[in-house]
Amino acid sequence: MKVLVIEDNPEIQEAVSLTFELNWPDAKVLAALEGSAGITKAETESPDMIILDLGLPDMEGFKVLKEIRGFSDIPVIILTVRKDEIDKVRGLELGADDYIVKPFNHMELLARVRAVLRRSHIPELKGTDMPFVTQSLTIDFAARTVVKLGKQVRLTPTEFNLLQYLVRNEGKVLSHHALLAKVWGEEYTDATEYLKVYIQRLRDKLEDDPANPRLILSERGVGYKFTKPD
CB-nearer residue toward Ca ion: 82 or 144: 82
Stretch that binds Ca ion, among 55-63, 162-170, 176-184, 198-206 (CB under 5 A): 55-63
**Beta partners for 137?**
148
Cα-based distances in Å from 33 to 15, 82, 127: 14, 19, 46
Strands of the sheet containing 151-153, edge to edge, are 132-133, 137-140, 145-148, 151-153
* Residue 87 binds Ca ion, judged by CB under 5 A: no
Maximal CA-CA distance, the chain: 57
Minimum CB distance to Ca ion smaller for 49 or for 56? 56
53 vs 98, beta carbon nearer Ca ion: 53
Q: What is the end-to-end Cα distance of the chain in Å, rounded?
A: 45
Asked if 34 is part of the footprint of Ca ion (rule: CB under 5 A), the reply reads no
Q: Does 12 bind Ca ion (CB under 5 A)?
A: no
CA 110/CA 116 separation, integer angstroms = 10
Of the two residues 55 and 123, which places its CB atom closer to Ca ion in the complex?
A: 55
Q: What is the per-residue DSSP string for 172-218?
A: SEEEHHHHIIIII-GGGTT-HHHHHHHHHHHHHHH-SSTTS-SSEEE
Size of the site for Ca ion (CB under 5 A): 3
Q: Is 210 in the site for Ca ion (CB under 5 A)?
A: no
- Of 1-9, 104-112, 122-130, 202-210, the segment contacting Ca ion by CB under 5 A is 1-9
d(CA 85, CA 137): 34
Applying CB under 5 A, does 123 fall inside the site for Ca ion?
Answer: no
Nearer to Ca ion, 100 or 181 (CB): 100
- Cβ-proximal residue to Ca ion, closest one: 55
Shortest Å, Cβ 108 to Ca ion: 19
Distance CA 131, CA 151 (A): 16
Q: Contact with Ca ion (CB under 5 A): which of 31, 33, 55, 181?
A: 55
What letter would DSSP give residue 135? S
Question: Least CB distance from residue 57 to Ca ion, whole Å?
Answer: 8
Which residue, 60 or 219, has its beta carbon nearer to Ca ion? 60
Q: Is 53 in the site for Ca ion (CB under 5 A)?
A: yes
> Which residues contact Ca ion by CB under 5 A?
8, 53, 55
